[in-house]
């Protein structure tokens, strides 16, 4: 799991719709809906300040939360949220109920290690990240904080594909029909221009 789980207290919303959502926001709360796990959707209102810090604190979409609605504790995973386009205020959140067998689709960040052990990078090559995040289907209670790509032994011109990454049990890429590229080791423009200058210097003068 990416971050420690957390708990938010929520009020049930009797009414739904745009008017109700506006009224909820006027009262300093954020309208949200909990759905999934073969149960009817539950409309709730969450405390604005706590939710704001959770959304902007990182890892919000990959951290299971417990929402306490009048003493009923529901485990959820955020599925979507809307922010005010100007002020970044949370406007609405959709949560998915998490049961013991819930499988979810999430984007997981990619971390790179052992850059100092890459002959290509040592020779002036540049790590060109094609995917900073990869979308996976994973058990909701076992979402990895990140996946690790080992650059040990990589050289200029090498491509690192998803098949080269050791994934935790149950973690499967959403793209399953091809061995997609996560990063490449490219020759740097500085290295290329130096090589070009050397070639020019070696060329016989007329």
DSSP states of 106-172 as a string? EEEEEEEE-GGG-HHHHTTEEEEES-SEEEEEEEGGG--S-EEEE-TT--TT-EEEGGGS-PPTT-E
| C-alpha–C-alpha distance, residues 40 and 51, integer Å | 23
Q: What's 158's domain CATH number?
A: 2.170.120.20
Domain count, the chain: 2
Domain-terminating residue out of 75, 98, 121: 98
- What percentage of the chain carries pLDDT values higher than 70? 89
Give yes or no: residues 10 and 83 share one domain: yes
Categorize the per-residue pLDDT at 203 as very low, low, confident or very high, splitting at 50, 70 and 90. Answer: very low
Give yes or no: residues 44 and 19 share one domain: yes
| C-alpha–C-alpha distance, residues 114 and 166, integer Å | 15
| C-alpha–C-alpha distance, residues 14 and 42, integer Å | 10
pLDDT tens-digit series, residues 92-134: 999 999 988 899 999 999 999 999 999 999 999 999 999 999 9
Give yes or no: residues 78 and 19 share one domain: yes
Q: Is 176 helix (H, G, I), strand (E, B) or coil?
A: coil
Categorize the per-residue pLDDT at 199 as very low, low, confident or very high, splitting at 50, 70 and 90. Answer: very low
pLDDT of residue 201: 45
Q: What's 68's domain CATH number?
A: 2.40.240.10
Give yes or no: residues 116 and 188 share one domain: yes
């Amino acid at each position: 799991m990416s971050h420690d789980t957390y708990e938010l207290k929520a009020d049930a919303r009797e009414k739904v719709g745009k008017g109700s959502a506006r009224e909820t926001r006027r009262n300093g709360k954020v309208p949200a809906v909990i759905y999934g796990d073969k149960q009817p959707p539950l409309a709730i209102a969450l405390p604005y300040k706590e939710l704001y810090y959770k959304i902007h604190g990182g890892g919000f979409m990959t951290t299971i939360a417990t929402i306490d609605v009048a003493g009923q504790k529901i485990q959820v995973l955020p599925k979507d949220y809307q922010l005010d386009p100007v002020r970044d205020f949370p406007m609405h959140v959709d949560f998915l109920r998490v049961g013991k067998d819930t499988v979810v689709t999430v984007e997981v960040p990619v971390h790179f290690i052992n850059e100092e052990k890459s002959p290509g990078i040592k020779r002036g090559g540049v790590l060109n990240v094609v995917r900073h995040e990869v979308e996976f289907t994973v058990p909701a209670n076992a979402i990895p904080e990140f996946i690790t790509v080992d650059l040990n032994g990589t050289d200029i011109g090498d491509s690192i594909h998803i098949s080269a990454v050791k994934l935790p049990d149950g973690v499967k890429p959403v793209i399953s029909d091809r061995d997609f590229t996560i990063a490449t080791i490219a020759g740097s423009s500085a290295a290329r221009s130096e090589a070009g200058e050397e070639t020019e210097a070696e060329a016989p003068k007329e």
